[in-house]
């Protein structure tokens, strides 16, 4: 079914405006409840959120919608997205809901949905929910069958204990000094507490949320502050999470940022050594560096590529029996432990290698030499007819020429973002000069096309 409300990672938009309004949140809750109601048992949904101010609006609207459909609601407050996925299963809930716009600024918010198995919903299921919203007709229960809401006070502790169980038995982080940047987001208490309990010395940044500062100049998408803190504190490494803590970047002791591709390569190498790798390879998206693919081939492993979005990675992992996957941006999915990307879980696996091999982080995490790559984002205006600058004839021709220029030793990926009104332009090639030239040409063409199309959006 066609989806217009859902994007690549749930529903997302500017808070207090459509589709992120209280009215739409209530309608979405009712439609989702109707989609998942089965039989006469007492249905239950768990709702978590990050630290955005607008969470105080979206959470009660969703709660009202579910309760009006006869579902009991379990509220867990600020908690990472993967924690909500874990609790959905462990509490035997029919649904899980995370209120977050992930790496976006505080002005935005979003709603991510999980099925009873803890996995994000398929495109088909999201389409069916949208169809129910359009029909706007539900069998509402009698007053004595309304749901109830309760708060789960030990949710944070449950998640911390779950994470500890993924760390090798008997291993400790004693002697490591780690800077942790939680982006003033959902993991601001969980991740520093976990690492401290495992023995590390912790330097905290991005752990003072005020509802407005989530992802602002910090976290996985803006790691400069983390890198500076690692060097200034003479730490062994730094960990940067995004607003809902489902993605991770690492910083080595020199202040160099380590992306998701290097982390996946490191985790896969360890899994091959330990005999725990499943599927004969790794699943990543079209954005992952060609150097990762070449490195995996030296190990006799494949790199399976999907569309951008960690749920597409998870779908391919489930279909092919893979247990390691992720995105260059830092979504790492380890299906032996979790059903979705988990930045803290991925960090623990890298930290286990750091302790076991006792090598500097810089040596440990430089697994392969990346192919020169540039990623540029160009903002555009949304239009009622759904067109973007990529539909402009001059952009189409520029891209065709660029594809020929990189074909023999590189890749070109150009797409509209599924979470923001931006065109993502990724160019990689063994020749860095060609990367720069091709990127500049496409970027200029997209910007010119957007300028020429802008009046149509007025």
> Look-up: residue for tokens 């919203």?
133
CA atoms 8, 14, 15, 16: torsion sign: negative
What's the average model confidence in pLDDT over 316-344?
97
Res. 303: pLDDT tops 60: yes
DSSP H or E run through 124: helix 123-135
Torsion sign, CA atoms 346, 347, 351, 353: positive
Q: Which residues contact 164 (CB under 8 A, 6 or more apart)?
A: 194, 197, 198
The mean pLDDT of 208-228, rounded to a whole number, is 97
Strand order of the β-sheet with 324-326 is 302-306, 281-285, 324-326, 332-334
Percent of the chain with pLDDT over 70: 98
410 DSSP β-pair partners? 429
Q: What is the pLDDT of residue 414?
A: 94
Ramachandran region of residue 200, left (φ > 0), alpha (ψ -120 to 50) or beta?
beta
pLDDT-derived band at 25, boundaries 50, 70, 90: very high
Distance (Å) of CA 448 to CA 61, 193, 392, 442: 42, 49, 10, 10
SS3 label, residue 235 = coil
The mean pLDDT value for 313-330 works out to 96
pLDDT per residue as tens digits for the range 102-117? 999 999 999 999 999 9
Residue 384's pLDDT band (boundaries 50, 70, 90)?
Answer: confident
The domains spanning 258-342+352-365 and 373-457 adopt the same CATH topology: no
CA distance 402 to 436: 11
This prediction's pTM: 0.90
Question: In this predicted structure, what is the pLDDT of residue 1?
Answer: 52
Q: Which of 3-17, 66-80, 171-185 has the lowest mean pLDDT?
A: 3-17
Cα distances (angstroms) measured from residue 210 to each of 79, 214, 288, 301: 15, 8, 34, 45
**Which region, left, alpha or beta, applies to residue 397 given φ > 0 means left and ψ of -120 to 50 means alpha?**
alpha
Report pLDDT for 39: 81
Q: Which pLDDT score, from 0 to 100, does residue 420 have?
A: 81
Q: What is the CATH number of domain 373-457?
A: 3.30.310.50
What are the pLDDT digits (tens) for 47-100?
999 999 999 999 999 999 999 999 999 999 999 999 999 999 999 999 999 999
Contact 432, 374 (CB under 8 A): no
Q: Would you call 338 a catalytic residue per the annotation?
A: no
Cα 16 → chain centroid = 23
Of the residues 54, 102, 288, 353, only one is catalytic, namely 102
The fold adopted by the segment(s) 158-167+176-256 is Alpha-D-Glucose-1,6-Bisphosphate; Chain A, domain 3 (3.40.120)
Q: What is the pLDDT of residues 408-437, one digit of tens each?
A: 889 999 999 877 889 999 999 999 999 999
Contact present, 416 and 388 (Cβ < 8 Å): yes
> Which residues have a Cβ under 8 Å from the Cβ of 190 and sit 6 or more positions away?
79, 80, 83, 156, 159, 160, 245, 344
CATH architecture group of domain 11-153 = 3-Layer(aba) Sandwich (3.40)
How large is the average pLDDT for residues 205-221? 97
Residue 458: pLDDT band (50, 70, 90) is very low
Strands (E), 385-451: 410-416, 422-429
Mean confidence (pLDDT) of the chain: 95
Name which residue leads in pLDDT, 420 or 155: 155
CA dist 279 and 203 (Å) reads 38
Q: How far apart are the first and last CA of the chain?
A: 30
Residue 2 has pLDDT above 70, yes or no: no
**If 0-12 CB within 10 Å is exposed, 13-18 middle and 19+ buried, where does residue 36 land?**
buried
Q: Where are the domains of the chain?
A: 11-153, 158-167+176-256, 258-342+352-365, 373-457
Question: Using one digit for the tens of pLDDT, what is the confidence trace for 255-298?
Answer: 999 999 999 999 999 999 999 999 999 999 999 999 999 999 99
CATH code at 258-342+352-365: 3.40.120.10
Give residue 280's pLDDT: 97
């Amino acid at each position: 079914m066609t989806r217009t409300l859902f994007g690549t990672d749930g529903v997302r938009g500017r808070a207090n405006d459509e589709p992120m309004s209280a009215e739409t949140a209530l309608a979405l809750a009712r439609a989702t409840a109707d989609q998942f109601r089965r039989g006469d048992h007492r249905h239950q949904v768990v709702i978590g959120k990050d630290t955005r101010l607008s969470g105080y609006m979206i959470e009660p609207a969703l709660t009202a919608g579910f309760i009006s459909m006869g579902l009991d609601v379990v509220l867990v407050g600020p908690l990472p997205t993967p924690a909500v996925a874990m609790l959905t299963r462990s509490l035997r809930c029919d649904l899980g809901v995370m209120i977050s716009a992930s790496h976006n600024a505080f002005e935005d918010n979003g709603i991510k949905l999980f099925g009873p198995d803890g996995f994000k919903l398929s495109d088909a299921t999201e389409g069916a929910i949208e169809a129910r919203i359009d029909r706007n007709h539900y069998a509402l229960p009698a007053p004595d069958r309304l749901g109830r809401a309760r708060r789960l006070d030990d949710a944070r502790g449950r998640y911390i204990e779950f994470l500890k169980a993924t760390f090798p038995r008997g291993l400790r982080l004693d002697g490591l000094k780690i800077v942790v940047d939680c982006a003033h987001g959902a993991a601001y208490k969980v991740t520093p507490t976990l690492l401290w309990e495992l023995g590390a010395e912790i330097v905290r940044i991005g752990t003072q949320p005020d509802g407005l500062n989530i992802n602002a100049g910090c976290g996985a998408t803006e790691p400069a502050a983390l890198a500076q803190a690692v060097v200034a504190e003479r730490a062994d490494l730094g960990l940067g999470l995004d607003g809902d803590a489902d993605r991770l970047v690492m910083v080595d002791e020199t202040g160099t940022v380590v992306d998701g591709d290097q982390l996946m390569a490191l985790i896969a190498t360890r899994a091959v050594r330990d005999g725990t790798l499943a599927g004969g390879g790794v699943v990543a998206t079209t954005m992952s560096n060609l150097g990762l693919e070449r490195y995996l081939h030296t190990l006799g492993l494949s790199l399976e590529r999907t569309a951008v979005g960690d749920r597409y990675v998870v779908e391919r992992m489930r279909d092919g029996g893979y247990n390691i996957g992720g995105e260059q941006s830092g979504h790492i999915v380890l299906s032996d432990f979790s059903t979705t990307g988990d930045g803290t879980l991925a960090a623990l696996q890298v930290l286990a290698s750091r302790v076991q091999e006792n090598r500097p982080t810089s040596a440990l995490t430089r697994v392969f030499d990346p192919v020169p790559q540039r990623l540029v984002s160009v903002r555009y205006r949304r239009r009622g007819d759904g067109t973007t600058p990529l539909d402009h004839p001059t952009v189409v021709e520029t891209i065709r020429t660029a594809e020929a220029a990189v074909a023999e030793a590189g890749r070109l990926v150009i797409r509209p973002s599924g979470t923001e009104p931006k065109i993502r332009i990724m160019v990689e090639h063994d020749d860095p000069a060609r990367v720069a030239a091709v990127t500049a040409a496409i970027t200029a063409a997209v910007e010119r096309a957007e300028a020429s199309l802008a009046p149509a959006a007025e």
